[in-house]
Amino acid sequence: MKITGFENNIPESEITPKSVYLDRRKFMQQAVASSLLLSVDVMLPAWAKQWPDLKSSPYSTADSVNSFEDITTYNNFYEFGTGKKDPYKNATQFNPKPWSIKVEGECEKPGTFDLEDFINPATLEERIYRLRCVEGWSMVIPWVGFSLADMLKKFEPHSKAKYVEFTTLLDKSRMPGQQRRVLRWPYVEALRIDEAMNELPIMAVGLYGDILPNQNGAPIRLVVPWKYGFKSIKSIVKIRFTEKQPQTTWNQTSAKEYGFYSNVNPTVDHPRWSQKKERVIGLPFWKPKRDTEMFNGYSKQVAHLYKGMDLKKHF
């Protein structure tokens, strides 16, 4: 899907062409063969060594992709600090392996699963999604991942499963930001079951053809492209199917500022700033901001989920 009004806004000098990151993918494969360490300071897991040439998703935006530096050095990940540069600086020693995810609640097949249990290299694809943050900035990122819906169906949710709750790792020794009480730890987010079963959300395990860097949510994170960025929870260790709407971290912290749904909506302002405009990371500050699009430009895929709802009340 092409989002209009965004093309060619980023100078060529600020964009990493696809040919460049395809070359990086080839280098990654060579590095594995020679047992070299990647820049994220972890060896490739077994499933990453089997990555095929990634297929492109039909849901990808045609917008220009941000540079690798933009994507990996300007992040919100409070587990490693509240500053935008903190995750890049503080997550270097984080070792995301081995990794397991516990699945529980209203489903037929709960259990604890190794990350490798979820990864089928043949199903991995590249989806170029724009991530828009509530603070008013956005990035276009080439994620590597697989369908959240396909993953959840394997656990056979019961009819009582109205919501899906996700939880981030809680480990103060490995995530120094959790030593401060800036949020209620562990970080928790959730989707309504029909949102989770939509075709757009993915479980991302990489970006730019490589494994996911620590500061971007290694080793596995959610990406929900029509919602504000904090809904796309990182470093997931638990998934729970629930009948009642879960309490989520930012909604608990400030319900007047962060609603449960948190759909990108230019008509609903944050109490402290407007959401009508956004600034694309990588553009000079003197460049004008772009208009924020309803559902981040994905109305065709998701508007039907909210038919009849008051989106100013259920924001």
Residues 76, 122: Cα–Cα separation, whole Å: 30
- Strand 100-105: give its sheet, edge to edge: 111-114, 100-105, 236-242, 163-168, 188-192
* 40: CB partners within 8 A, 6+ apart: 210, 211, 212, 213, 214, 218
Alpha-carbon gap, residue 197 to 222, rounded angstroms: 13
CB atoms within 10 A of CB 309: 11
Domain limits of the chain? 12-306
Buried b / exposed e along 124-153 (16+ C-beta atoms within 10 A)? bbbbbbbbbbbbbbbbbbbbbbbbbbebbe
Matching residue, tokens 């828009």? 132
Residue 138 φ/ψ, nearest 5 degrees: -145, 160
Pair of tokens at residue 78: 């409070």
Contact call for residues 241 and 285 (beta carbons, < 8 A)? no
What is the pLDDT, as a whole number, of residue 44? 63
b/e map 6-26, b = 16+ CB within 10 Å: beeebeeebbbeeeebeeebe
Label the pairing between strands 221-223 and 202-207.
antiparallel
Residue the block writes with tokens 């494994």: 211
DSSP 137-154: EEEEEEEEEEEHHHHHHT
Q: What CATH architecture does domain 12-306 belong to?
A: Alpha-Beta Complex (3.90)
Please tell me whether residue 297 adopts helix, strand or coil conformation.
Answer: helix
Written as tens digits, the pLDDT of the chain (315 aa) is 333 232 334 444 444 554 554 555 444 444 333 332 333 334 567 677 767 788 889 999 999 999 999 999 999 999 999 999 999 999 999 999 899 999 999 999 999 999 999 988 888 999 999 999 999 999 999 999 999 999 999 999 999 999 999 999 999 999 999 999 999 999 999 999 999 999 999 999 999 999 999 999 999 999 999 999 999 999 999 999 999 999 999 999 999 999 999 999 999 999 999 999 999 998 888 889 999 999 999 999 999 999 999 999 999
Give the helix/strand (H/E) hosting 170: none
Q: Tell me, what's the pLDDT at 72?
A: 97
